[in-house]
């Protein structure tokens, strides 16, 4: 039993009241926490993933977990899946109760350092009690996991007894215990932590790898993907790239070498009660995500009845990159395994029916329902791959009528479980949702994502070019014409709309832009709109109403007007982080198709950077927010508030340009120039001229805003609302220019 006091109702209320504070300052608190703790306790570097510290993933994940914990402090059952995920990860790293004492000390101190006098004794006491409530829960669960490990409660030396190249990218390592003792069983789908010394860091690092074979008494097998573009002999990626350890294994560890290995853990595994039944199983994976599912298929084909229906579905970029292809194909010939391969890029040697069955990414709509065993309400579905792949497949299965409790996914991140759940529009709702303008870049994205959640008959799409919306009009959406530049068209444009998404006017002139926004807001009030969402911009250091960026001025004034009108129309202003797609603006209009060697900008490239965000993810998150409001307006958390939706990590301009250079295969450099020199660049004047007026100097104020850290704030809100980790900048850039 814990000696720590239970939380009082007053303390619970205090914690709930700090939720908005965590939304704004959570990432700063956790960043300070990790910095201070690891400086004081460098021995803990072996526990924490160093690249995830550097790229901000670890602080973001903890900030999201704290936010979720505070939000559900009165309903901890909602976090049970998240706690199980974390405790299994902790057990694989051999986290001990004393570690929680260290974490608690530095976390509370970080709150004080960041919040200052705002952290009153009452709030500090409530958070201290709340921390130990959660810590005791996790310590207790981890104790249970250790007790189930048959005495294996610390790192154990394993020797590499075989190393097999499975594909162009994936190599298997066969690991046998040095002490020769039989290995404990594990559940197919679970993982082990592997710890290796990293010379560049001068300490060890651990990573989790799914076991890729059925349980054997004398060895474990892991199958590891080698990441492209990482040289394991170069020390730099050791602190910046999460895939460095995998490449270190590929490049420097061979048969006879020793690694430290944990007991198997993980909450994603084949249901033990199902392994020897006739329940149909569908295994769906992409890339290296096939590793735990290979363990499952090997187990099922060795134990399960021959009458069992089993479908192995896998997607790979190329046939040559697909691991275990021959093995799975042989299983499909000698056992009741159906195999379906999706391949994105074909070569001349690829043969349909052997190397691939479908071209493109995994798409369940290309398969017959009978091959997914949809008619059997007991069928279980196991999914593993990139997070967006998994959530997309999950959505596809649910759309086909599969119950959520029959869908299992391999997740190594917490926010999937801790997000506020955003659902499709409730079936009994008749709320009319309007979007204006609905045909621009962001507006189109919002509409596309709304149309996946809302019947078209409940959408009112207002656009300068309504002809671009004929498809949705044909599906039942109401389409109207209106134009910011024709104010009279706004008078009745929003009639009958209950909730309006107002996409900001694309103008460089602050006064004209603010006037246009006010006219639209006034028209919405006149038409009886009940709530207005507004697309703002991510300058201003989080939620501040001050910015040196000229472009932010109109947004701040519009937000003030919305706040002054909230008694007439409640609002939510969505501050969007800078679009990943807008990188040319911040690279002097660099053209990847005609690249120069040197990028000249009024910035050194170092210092505070930009929390880049993919525009379509902003559209998706905005649609989710709108639907969340419509479903439950009384409890909508962002009523009359500003919310920042920034990207998953802050990236300096130097790293931004390095990423672009690596994507196009060309080293790029930065040369700092003065603002005067910058505005005289011919491409700058060409791109920042509006109605024959050169506004280059006004736009150049954005550079000072970046230097001031206005665009560097990372908010957990985007991941929470999406229900997944936002897409990495590297991936978006590769899609844009790769």
Give the active site residues. Answer: 100, 142
Q: 573-611: string of b/e by CB count within 10 Å (b at 16+)?
A: bbbbbbbbbebebbbbbbebeeeeeebbbbbebeebbbb
Positive or negative CA dihedral for 536, 539, 542, 548? Answer: negative
- 310-316 vs 459-463, strand pairing mode: unpaired
Q: Which two tokens stand for residue 162?
A: 């075989």
Which residues are registered as beta bridge partners of 394? Answer: none
Report the sign of the C-alpha dihedral through residues 240, 43, 3, 154, in that order. Answer: positive
The full 3-state SS of 83-105, as one line of letters, equals HHHHHHHHHHCCCCHHHHHHHHH
Between strands 380-384 and 407-409, the pairing is parallel
> For residue 321, what is the DSSP state?
T
As a whole number of angstroms, the distance between CA 120 and CA 140 comes to 30
How far, CA to CA in Å, does 695 sit from each of 551, 556, 698? 10, 19, 5
Single out the residue of 390, 459, 389 nearest to residue 429, CA to CA.
Answer: 459
C-alpha separations of 370 from 29, 76, 357 in Å: 51, 39, 17
CA distance 458 to 454: 7
Q: Give the single-character DSSP code of 503.
A: P
Tokens representing 189 are 């789908």
* Dist. CA 565–CA 414, nearest whole Å: 38
Which residue bears the tokens 């001031």?
A: 708
User: What is the C-alpha separation between 430 and 447, in angstroms, rounded?
Assistant: 17
Judge whether 679 and 586 are in contact, CB under 8 Å.
Answer: no
- What CA–CA distances, in Å, run from 641 to 562, 569, 572, 636, 647? 10, 12, 5, 10, 19
Question: Which CA distances in Å does 62 have to 103, 208, 295, 416, 424?
Answer: 12, 18, 31, 13, 28
CA distance 632 to 226: 46
Instruction: Dump strand ranges (E) for 464-510.
Output: 478-481, 499-502
Both tokens assigned to 452: 């996946």
Q: Are 650 and 613 spatial neighbours (Cβ–Cβ below 8 Å)?
A: no
Nearest to 648 by CA among 551, 705, 721: 721
392: left (phi over 0), alpha (psi -120 to 50) or beta: alpha
Element spanning 117, H or E: none
User: Three-class SS of residue 563?
Assistant: helix
Residue identified by tokens 């619970």 is 12
State the distance between the two ends of the chain, measured CA to CA, in whole angstroms: 56
Residue among 729, 679, 671, 718 at smallest CA distance from 702: 679
Indicate the Cα dihedral angle 198, 201, 203, 205, nearest 10°: -60
Backbone phi and psi for residue 603, each to the nearest 5 degrees, phi listed first? -165, 145
Alpha-carbon dihedral sign for residues 546, 550, 556, 557: positive
Give the SS3 label for residue 441.
Answer: helix
What is the H or E stretch that residue 443 is in?
helix 441-451
Dihedral in degrees, nearest 10, Cα atoms 334, 338, 342, 348:
40
């Amino acid at each position: 039993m814990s000696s720590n006091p239970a939380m009082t109702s007053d303390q619970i209320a205090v914690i709930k009241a700090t939720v908005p504070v965590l939304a704004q300052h959570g990432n700063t608190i956790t960043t300070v926490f990790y910095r201070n703790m690891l400086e004081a306790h460098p021995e803990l570097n072996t526990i924490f993933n160093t690249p995830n510290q550097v790229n901000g993933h670890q602080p973001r994940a903890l900030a999201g977990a704290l936010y979720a914990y505070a939000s559900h402090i009165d309903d901890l059952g909602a976090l049970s899946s998240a706690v199980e995920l974390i405790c299994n990860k902790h057990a694989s790293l051999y986290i001990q109760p004393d570690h929680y004492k260290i974490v608690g000390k530095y976390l509370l101190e970080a709150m004080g350092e960041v919040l200052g006098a705002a952290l009153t004794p009452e709030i500090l006491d409530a958070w201290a009690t709340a921390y130990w409530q959660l810590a005791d829960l996790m310590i207790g669960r981890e104790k249970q996991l250790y007790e189930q490990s048959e005495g294996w409660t610390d790192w154990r030396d394993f020797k590499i007894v075989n190393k097999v190249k499975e594909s162009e990218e994936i190599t298997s390592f066969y690991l046998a215990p040095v002490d020769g003792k039989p290995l404990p069983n594990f559940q197919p789908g679970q993982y082990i932590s592997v710890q290796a010394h990293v010379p560049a860091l001068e300490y060890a690092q651990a990573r989790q790898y799914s076991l890729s074979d059925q349980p054997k008494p004398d060895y474990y097998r892991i199958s590891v993907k080698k990441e492209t573009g990482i040289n394991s002999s170069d020390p730099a990626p050791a602190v910046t790239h999460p895939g460095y350890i995998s490449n270190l294994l590929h490049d420097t560890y061979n048969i006879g070498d020793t690694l430290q290995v944990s007991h198997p853990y993980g909450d994603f595994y084949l249901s033990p009660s199902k392994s020897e039944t006739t329940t149909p199983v569908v295994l769906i994976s992409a890339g290296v995500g096939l590793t735990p599912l290979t363990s499952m298929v090997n187990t099922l084909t060795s134990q399960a009845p021959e009458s069992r229906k089993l479908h192995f579905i896998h997607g790979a970029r190329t046939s040559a990159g697909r691991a275990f292809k021959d093995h799975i194909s042989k299983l499909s010939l000698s056992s009741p395994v159906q195999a379906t391969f999706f391949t994105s890029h074909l070569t001349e040697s690829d043969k349909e029916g052997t190397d691939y069955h479908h071209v493109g990414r995994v798409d369940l709509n290309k398969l017959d329902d009978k091959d997914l065993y949809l008619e059997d309400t007991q069928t279980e579905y196991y999914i593993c791959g990139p997070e967006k792949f998994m959530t997309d497949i999950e959505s596809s299965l649910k759309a086909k009528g599969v119950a959520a409790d029959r869908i299992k996914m391999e997740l190594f991140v917490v926010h999937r479980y801790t997000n506020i759940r955003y659902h499709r529009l409730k079936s009994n709702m008749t709320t009319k949702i309007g979007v204006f303008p609905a045909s621009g870049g962001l507006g189109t994205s919002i509409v596309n994502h709304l149309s996946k959640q809302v019947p078209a008959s409940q959408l009112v799409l207002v656009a300068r070019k309504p002809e671009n919306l004929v498809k949705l009009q044909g599906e039942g959406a109401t389409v109207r014409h209106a134009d910011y530049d024709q104010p009279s068209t706004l008078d009745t444009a929003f009639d009958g709309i209950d909730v309006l998404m107002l996409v900001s006017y694309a103008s460089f002139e602050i006064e004209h832009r603010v006037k246009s926004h006010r006219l639209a807001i006034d028209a919405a009030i006149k038409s009886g709109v009940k709530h207005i969402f507004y697309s703002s911009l991510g300058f201003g250091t989080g939620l501040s109403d001050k910015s040196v960026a000229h472009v932010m001025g109109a947004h701040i004034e519009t937000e003030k007007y919305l706040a002054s009108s909230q008694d007439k129309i409640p609002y939510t202003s969505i501050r969007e982080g800078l679009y990943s797609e807008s990188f040319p603006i911040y690279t002097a209009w660099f053209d990847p198709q005609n690249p120069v060697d040197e990028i000249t900008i009024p910035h050194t490239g170092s210092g505070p950077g930009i929390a880049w965000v993919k525009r379509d993810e902003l559209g998706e998150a905005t649609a989710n927010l709108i639907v969340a409001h419509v479903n439950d307006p009384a409890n909508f958390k962002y009523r009359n508030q500003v919310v920042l939706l920034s990207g998953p990590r802050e990236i300096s301009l130097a790293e931004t340009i390095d990423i672009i250079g690596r994507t196009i295969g060309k080293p790029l450099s930065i040369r700092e120039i003065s603002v005067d020199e910058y505005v005289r660049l011919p491409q700058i004047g060409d791109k920042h001229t509006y109605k024959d007026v050169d506004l280059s100097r006004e736009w150049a104020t954005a550079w000072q805003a970046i230097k001031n850290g206005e665009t560097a704030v990372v908010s957990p809100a985007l991941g929470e609302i999406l229900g997944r980790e936002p897409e990495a900048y590297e991936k978006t850039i590769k899609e844009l220019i790769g």
